Structure 1
Amino acid sequence: MKTKAVRMYGKEDLRLEEFELPPLKPGEILAQVVSDSLCMSSYKAAIQGSSHKRVPADIDRHPVMLGHELCGEILQVGDRWKDRFSPGQRFSIQPALNYRGTLDAPGYSYPYIGGDATRVIIPEEVMEMDCLLEYQGDAFFLGSLAEPISCVAGAFHANYHTRQGSYEHSMGIVEGGKTAILAGVGPMGLAAIDYAIHNPRKPGLLVVTDIDQERLDRASRVYTVEEARRQGVELHYINTSRQGSEQELLDLTGGAGYDDVFVFAPVRPVLEQGDRLLGHDGCLNFFAGPSSPDFRAELNFYEVHYSAHHLVGTSGGNTDDMREALDLMGRGLVNPAGMITHVGGLNAVIETTLNLPAIPGGKKLIYTHKNLPLVAIDDFAARGATDPFYAALAEICGKNNNIWSAEAEAYLLREAPEI
């Protein structure tokens, strides 16, 4: 069976190609991808090529498929897995396999599985590690967003706190405590806001910062102060480009500082500010991975010693986090649709991936069987003046606070041109 896929051959060398998939082995599963959410991690892989820790050294001869936030349907099941999976099942994948101690992952390391493809072969190690997860939602894009939500869940679970005289760590954010999300209105920051407000273990105070007022305003429309209050969370959005904003952040804690600080941009001043905002026994989570292996910042080790400050870094969730994400979405507690700001087809993947840091907004959602330019949801109405397809999408999204939805997806899958 043929597939169309974006494959990586080297640094910034991405190619959209059509080719034949090999015959299915008894331990494999053939599937079609319907949606893939583009991740900054894919950009990092694309600019680093085989220098990336998850990317094989020989991609110039054996290219790998790109994309790891995928959702689709199973087409054919190898004999080994017929008692667990069947054609027609919808699925999502936890890409962090940790298979036999390697960093291999779909979207980085494999020739026949990646999210930016029409059809893929799921290798047996995905099933062996219990990383092929059934998805029962009514919209494919939510299945694609389960992976980034799981990364946020993993970050909130990885933070820890201590008690003087005890050597046991209490895992997770301080329930009812004070949490700050710095540089927090990008794609993953939006997911963190949603998760912080709606997951069972909530902070009492949540402060979200950024230097882009337009992005802060959009975040406040999607995840409102009123909704947070209904969930028992006091939510503030603060523009840290303003003079005196750091003192404002501390004043919200009564000068005590924050229990949990998450840094969502690999920017030295933001990380150092996060260190200054920590209170006693505060945990700083450096979530956003830098592209440079030489990235450094200063931390106050006096406070490490006397105020029990500590630092963690997380770059993904595990399979339990993925199941949690799917469960929270399935019960309607978390709705990450607000993360999505752009929608396009498989033809838009290469240009979008290579320019991802320069494209404003949140998540870029790809429908892999479609031929569509990458277009911001906010631009649908303008395009709709001359294109009935975008006029209809603008009307659908307009009914829902200009947020992507299952209705919008159904219309796109029905009406958009095939790749």
Structure 2
Amino acid sequence: MTTSIALRLHGKEDLRIEEVELPAIKDDEILAEVVSDTMCMSSWKLAKEAENHKKTPDDLASKPVMIGHEFAGRILQVGSKWADKFHAGQDFVIQPNLARDDTPFVPGYSYPYIGGDATKIIIPNEVMELDCLIPFEGTSYYEGSLCEPISCVIAAFDAQYHLIPHTYDHEMGIKDGGNMLIVGGTGPMGLLAIDYALHGEKKPGKLIVTDINQEKLDRAERLYPSDEVDIQFVNTNNLSIAEQEALLRDKVSGSGYDDIFLMISVAPIAEMTGKLLNPDGCLNQFAGPMDKGFSANINLYDIHYNFTHLVGTSGGNAQNEAKAAKVIAENRLNVAKVITHVSGLDAAGETTLQQPEIGGGKKLVYTHKKFDRIELAKVDPETELGQILAKHDGLWSHEAEEWVLTNMPDIEA
């Protein structure tokens, strides 16, 4: 038997750090250790909904699940079926969106022995069968944890589509050199979308990012300068819908937008952005609404005569995750910019439930460690960690990760 310490969901808002005895792996399974996990608001929704969530077992009280789905780690033992493809000591990331037709169950939501907020896990056969276990060759585990959210961004950008002139065929992806709008774009996923827009294969000519918090807009502007893309950050706080529409249209000289990403689920905003689409423009509802009845009015005249498009993506897939692992390992993106808090596993439960109140960006958990949540912006600059952060412009880094793994106490059951 192998022992794991894990954060498990037993019911609505019932998260517990527990010692879990893992069974011996089968020939088609892999034993691994998780080193880091980053938190997603999806885990907050999961903890709120519990048994009502479509990805959980019906009876969590008797079938608790390990949570966390943005994780990276190291393989410890490989079952014979996969011995020719994976090996002990190999670093990995996982695409939790298995995209199976027979069940909605996925790692981090549904299984008793695999989730990101755990010291050790058993990776089930279906993860490998669906090519969702991906070797990671980056330098830091926190970068690996952020492969999953980057995969969501890549999926969204790749799902955009535009007509090939004089045909009804489509070219997939954002419009190269076009106008792009990211609404509510200063949260973690918005910041990652900005990073990818600035450093992906296709880049917009102009990128407008909105939010209602000037402090967050100022931070985003500092973090994401560009010599290639005309990027502007716009505060829409206290503006009526009509005023927002006029302001955003003015930002593109009275024209409209070719690609729009909605990082919020607000019907009047969705309706407004539909009006801002250029002919052949594509609107992506990126944020996952909690309300199953969420809807907004869509102009079908524009869809018919102006060929506007409406798409949505929910998570990435194995190919998106592999691409994310590649671009991060190549240092094309600096994913550390979205990390604002770091903690040990013992603080993961409270942090998961308090994400909206805590605010900020991504919360990074080192699963083998025990320490209270640290807000990076408030670290004493005289401390050793503070000095490391200062060397990296206040951002998390490989050096900071190594400091935590070396100096913070280990978690105990």
**TM superposition score category, shorter chain reference:** over 0.9
- Taking the aligned partners of 1:108 and 1:245, their CA distance within structure 2 comes to 38
Q: Partner residue of 1:168?
A: 169
Q: Partner residue of 2:404?
A: 412
Q: Note the alpha carbon deviations across 1:322-378, whole angstroms, 9 max, x for none.
A: 111111111111111101011111111111111212221110110001111122100
Unaligned runs of 5+ in 1: 386-390
Q: Partner residue of 1:233?
A: 229
Say if 2:71 is the partner of 1:79. no
AA at the equivalent of 2:328: M
AA at the equivalent of 1:233: V
Residue 272 of structure 1 and its aligned partner are, at CA, apart by 2.5
Q: Is the 8 A contact 2:99 2:317 kept in 1?
A: no
Q: Is the 8 A contact 1:10 1:49 kept in 2?
A: yes
Q: Partner residue of 1:358?
A: 357
Q: Partner residue of 2:251?
A: 252
Q: Please, which moves more after superposition, 283-292 or 161-170?
A: 161-170
Q: Partner residue of 1:388?
A: none
Q: Partner residue of 1:46?
A: 47
Q: Is the 8 A contact 2:151 2:324 kept in 1?
A: yes
Q: Given the superposition, is the C-alpha separation of residues 375 and 223 from structure 1 closer, same or farther in structure 2, using an over 3 Å criterion?
A: same
Runs of 4+ in 1 over 6 A off after TM superposition: none
User: Normalized against structure 2, the TM-score is what?
Assistant: 0.95
User: Normalized against structure 1, the TM-score is what?
Assistant: 0.94
Q: Partner residue of 2:321?
A: 322
Q: Is the 8 A contact 1:98 1:104 kept in 2?
A: no
Say if 2:194 is the partner of 1:193. yes
Say if 2:38 is the partner of 1:37. yes
Q: Given the superposition, is the C-alpha separation of residues 93 and 104 from structure 1 closer, same or farther in structure 2, using an over 3 Å criterion?
A: same
Q: Is the 8 A contact 2:38 2:365 kept in 1?
A: yes
Residue 108 of structure 1 and its aligned partner are, at CA, apart by 0.7
Does the residue aligned with 2:146 lie in a helix, a strand or coil? helix
Q: Note the alpha carbon deviations across 1:167-217, whole angstroms, 9 max, x for none.
A: 322211111111111100100000000000001111111111100011111
Write the mapping of 1:194-343 to structure 2, written as runs, cut at 5 A: 194-224=195-225, 228-229=226-227, 232-241=228-237, 243=239, 244-343=243-342
AA at the equivalent of 2:235: N
Say if 2:393 is the partner of 1:401. yes
Residue 67 of structure 1 and its aligned partner are, at CA, apart by 0.5
Residue 252 of structure 1 and its aligned partner are, at CA, apart by 2.4
Residue 164 of structure 1 and its aligned partner are, at CA, apart by 7.0
Unaligned runs of 5+ in 2: none
Q: Partner residue of 2:65?
A: 64
Does the residue aligned with 1:99 lie in a helix, a strand or coil? coil
- Taking the aligned partners of 2:67 and 2:259, their CA distance within structure 1 comes to 33
Q: Note the alpha carbon deviations across 1:7-52, whole angstroms, 9 max, x for none.
A: 1112212111112111111111110000000011111111111211
AA at the equivalent of 1:394: G
Q: Note the alpha carbon deviations across 1:126-158, whole angstroms, 9 max, x for none.
A: 111111110111100000001100100000000
Seq. identity, %? 51
Q: Partner residue of 2:347?
A: 348
Q: Note the alpha carbon deviations across 1:264-283, whole angstroms, 9 max, x for none.
A: 11223332332222111111
Residue 297 of structure 1 and its aligned partner are, at CA, apart by 2.3
- Taking the aligned partners of 2:133 and 2:274, their CA distance within structure 1 comes to 38
AA at the equivalent of 2:135: E
Residue 296 of structure 1 and its aligned partner are, at CA, apart by 2.3
Residue 113 of structure 1 and its aligned partner are, at CA, apart by 0.2
Does the residue aligned with 1:27 lie in a helix, a strand or coil? coil
Matched length: 407
Q: Please, which moves more after superposition, 95-104 or 350-359?
A: 95-104
AA at the equivalent of 2:201: P
Q: Is the 8 A contact 1:29 1:122 kept in 2?
A: yes
Does the residue aligned with 2:56 lie in a helix, a strand or coil? coil
- Taking the aligned partners of 1:300 and 1:167, their CA distance within structure 2 comes to 20
Q: Is the 8 A contact 1:36 1:141 kept in 2?
A: yes
Does the residue aligned with 2:399 lie in a helix, a strand or coil? helix
Q: Please, which moves more after superposition, 290-299 or 107-116?
A: 290-299
Q: Is the 8 A contact 2:139 2:329 kept in 1?
A: no
- Taking the aligned partners of 1:144 and 1:410, their CA distance within structure 2 comes to 15
Q: Please, which moves more after superposition, 112-121 or 38-47?
A: 38-47
Does the residue aligned with 1:68 lie in a helix, a strand or coil? coil
Residue 245 of structure 1 and its aligned partner are, at CA, apart by 4.5
Say if 2:121 is the partner of 1:120. yes
Q: Note the alpha carbon deviations across 1:290-330, whole angstroms, 9 max, x for none.
A: 11212222333332233222211111111111111111111
Q: Note the alpha carbon deviations across 1:52-95, whole angstroms, 9 max, x for none.
A: 12112122211111000000001111111111111111000011
Q: Is the 8 A contact 1:183 1:270 kept in 2?
A: no
Does the residue aligned with 1:338 lie in a helix, a strand or coil? helix
